[in-house]
Amino acid sequence: MSWNDDRVEQLKKLWSEGLSASQIASRLGGVTRNAVIGKVHRLGLSGRATTSRMKSHRPRPRPAANLPGNKRMMPKGNRFPAAPNSPLQMIYQAEPFMPSAEELDIPMAERKTIQTLQECHCRWPIGDPQMADFHFCGKQKAAGLPYCEFHARRAFQPPQARRRERDVSEPMIPAIATMPAAGKETVDG
């Protein structure tokens, strides 16, 4: 199907009446909704009459709590109080970022910005990325790692330490260790 002058004029008329692209496509026949949208865009059509779905002239109902004569009142204060450890409450209680004292010892000449960072430099970020004094460590990085030796020790834990922490925080299910293997029966003596 090609767009001839008659179809383009009909498209413009239907578009200005506020019909949707799907409705226009069905009235024109032989075109898809996307074809109508593309043609409208290429023609630069923008002004449209508002349809009843787009804009309702009906007054909005008032909330029940504000109706005269209604004794029920809305609770004062926060309608949805935050849970004790909710993410929102944690944001409000969070302390501002303070770099450790060890990070403050990096001389200005060794501090690297994202523009001055090279392949051989430690990529440990220091400070708040939103602040002007944000920088990277910039010391010589350890072989095969993105960080210097000091920051590599902070970033990477040995597997045993991680396993120890996990064992403390997650109790093992003892029933698994004592269960008989599948298909074998135990004989009580």
User: Average model confidence (pLDDT) for the chain?
Assistant: 74
- What pLDDT does residue 170 have? 55
Considering its fold, how many domains does the chain have in total?
2
Q: Answer whether residue 118 is part of any domain.
A: yes
- What pLDDT does residue 34 have? 94
Closest CA to 11 of 51, 2, 54: 2
DSSP track, 42-78: HHT----PPPTTT---SPPPPPGGGSTT----PPSS-
pLDDT for residue 33 is more than 90: yes
pLDDT tens-digit series, residues 102-126? 555 777 777 888 899 999 998 888 8
Domain span at residue 133 reads: 105-169
Q: Answer whether residue 88 is part of any domain.
A: no
- What pLDDT does residue 13 have? 92
Distance CA 117, CA 114 (A): 5
Decide which of 161 and 137 is more confident: 137
Q: For the whole model, what pTM was predicted?
A: 0.33
Q: Answer whether residue 93 is part of any domain.
A: no
pLDDT for residue 79 is more than 50: yes
Q: Answer whether residue 130 is part of any domain.
A: yes
Q: Answer whether residue 163 is part of any domain.
A: yes
Distance CA 112, CA 138 (A): 5
Q: Answer whether residue 63 is part of any domain.
A: no
Q: Answer whether residue 185 is part of any domain.
A: no
Q: Answer whether residue 30 is part of any domain.
A: yes
Residues 81 and 49 sit within 8 Å (Cβ to Cβ): no
